[in-house]
């Protein structure tokens, strides 16, 4: 007789909870959109890149922790967030808030002292935007929460660019807008599948306010603008043909996925499969697009 398989759940620990507060999986994409522009903007030393990565992680992690502090009431309602340290009772709200603020303070000092004040200021602006404009103000009051709140996630390319050049130009602003217009189709794909959770928590995500079909149409329009924006850096001469080809191929795949989802919904077929694909692919899309920028510039030097 063979013994039944033993299934072990991860043992909660303070270290694991502190890491969980920073939402490391989300931050990994933010770090790609920070590092790649650094190599697109110039030839940074490995130390500068590491410092900006660490500072960026702490700043974004701090913002995520403060977000969990502010959202502790609805985190308990949503299945997706019920196991976070505060609703699960493993940490007090005050501990989480202190951790988040400490992370942001450390990141500001590190970036200002070792990199430059502009990079530190931009990173801190992203922190405040995420905490106050998105989490505190828009998240529970407007279906535009993801659109305007998306600006918070668009600060990392500015930070990376500023860390290398000490200034901002049209390419940096275009990268900001690329992430800004990428955010709605990405998050609305998730929102389409988590409507029950968001409805229960009273978060006015687009599918709840506009309906599924209109949200999908909006995803399409935002993606059209996104694709046009990705061509702009090439048009002004900042990136070459390798980047352009990558932007077109990657963008066409994203657009195709959204059209597939929309057609499935229109035909009354199940659309959750294509929606999941759009959500997951959009993560890969943004990462590869930014890597293409860095590779394009590195090869051109």
Q: Enumerate binding residues for other proteins (CB under 8 A).
A: 138, 140-144, 147-148, 169-171, 173-174, 177, 180-181, 195-196, 198-204, 207-212, 214, 217-218, 220-222, 224-225, 227-229, 231-232, 235-238, 241
User: 10 or 237, CB closer to other proteins?
Assistant: 237
DSSP at 11:
P
- H or E stretch at 266: helix 241-266
Q: Cβ of residue 57: shortest distance to other proteins, in angstroms?
A: 28
Q: Cβ of residue 229: shortest distance to other proteins, in angstroms?
A: 8
Q: Cβ of residue 166: shortest distance to other proteins, in angstroms?
A: 13
Alpha-carbon distance values, 150 to 138, 188, 266 (Å): 11, 12, 28
Q: Cβ of residue 220: shortest distance to other proteins, in angstroms?
A: 8
Q: Cβ of residue 12: shortest distance to other proteins, in angstroms?
A: 29
Token pair listed for 286: 């943004």
Q: Cβ of residue 233: shortest distance to other proteins, in angstroms?
A: 9
Q: Cβ of residue 145: shortest distance to other proteins, in angstroms?
A: 9
User: 20 or 216, CB closer to other proteins?
Assistant: 216
Q: Cβ of residue 176: shortest distance to other proteins, in angstroms?
A: 9
Alpha-carbon distance values, 12 to 15, 56, 180 (Å): 9, 26, 35
User: 220 or 259, CB closer to other proteins?
Assistant: 220
User: 128 or 241, CB closer to other proteins?
Assistant: 241
User: 114 or 132, CB closer to other proteins?
Assistant: 132
**Contact of 206 with 143, CB cutoff 8 Å:** yes
CA 119 remoteness from chain centre: 18
Contacting residues for 59 by C-beta, under 8 A, at least 6 apart: 103, 104, 107, 108, 111, 123, 124, 126, 127
User: 106 or 144, CB closer to other proteins?
Assistant: 144
User: 101 or 133, CB closer to other proteins?
Assistant: 133
Token pair listed for 96: 């989480």
DSSP at 151:
H
**Distance in angstroms between the alpha carbons of the first and the last residue of the chain:** 66
Q: Which residue has the tokens 């070459």?
A: 240
Burial annotation 215-228 (CB, 10 A radius, 16+ → b, else e): bbebbeebbeebbe
User: 200 or 266, CB closer to other proteins?
Assistant: 200
* DSSP per residue, 58-112: HHHHHHHHHHHHHTHHHHTT-TTTTTSTTTTTSS-HHHHHHHHHHHHHHHHHHHH
């Amino acid at each position: 007789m063979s013994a039944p398989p033993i299934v072990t759940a991860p043992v909660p620990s303070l270290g694991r909870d502190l890491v969980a507060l920073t939402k490391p999986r989300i931050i990994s994409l933010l770090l790609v959109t920070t590092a790649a522009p650094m190599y697109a903007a110039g030839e940074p030393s490995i130390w500068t890149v590491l410092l900006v990565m660490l500072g960026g992680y702490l700043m974004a992690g701090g913002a995520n922790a403060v977000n969990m502090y502010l959202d502790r009431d609805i985190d308990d309602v949503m299945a997706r967030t019920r196991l976070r340290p505060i609703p699960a009772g493993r940490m007090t709200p005050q501990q989480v808030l202190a951790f988040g603020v400490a992370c942001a303070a450390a990141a500001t000092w590190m970036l200002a002292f070792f990199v430059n004040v502009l990079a530190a200021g931009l990173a801190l602006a992203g922190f405040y935007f995420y905490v106050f404009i998105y989490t505190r103000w828009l998240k529970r009051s407007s279906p535009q929460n993801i659109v305007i709140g998306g600006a918070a996630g668009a600060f990392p390319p500015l930070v990376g660019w500023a860390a290398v050049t000490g200034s901002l130009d049209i390419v940096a602003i275009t990268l900001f807008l690329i992430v800004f217009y990428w955010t709605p189709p990405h998050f609305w794909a998730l929102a389409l599948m988590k409507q029950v959770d968001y409805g229960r928590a009273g978060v006015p995500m687009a599918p709840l306010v506009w309906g599924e079909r209109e949200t999908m149409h909006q995803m399409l329009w935002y993606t059209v603008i996104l694709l046009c924006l990705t061509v702009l850096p090439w048009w002004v001469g900042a990136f070459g043909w390798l980047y352009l080809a990558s932007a077109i191929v990657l963008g066409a795949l994203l657009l195709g996925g959204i059209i597939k989802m929309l057609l499935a919904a229109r035909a009354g077929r199940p659309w959750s499969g294509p929606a999941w694909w759009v959500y997951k692919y959009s993560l890969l899309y943004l990462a590869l697009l930014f890597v293409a920028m860095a590779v394009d510039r590195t090869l051109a030097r």
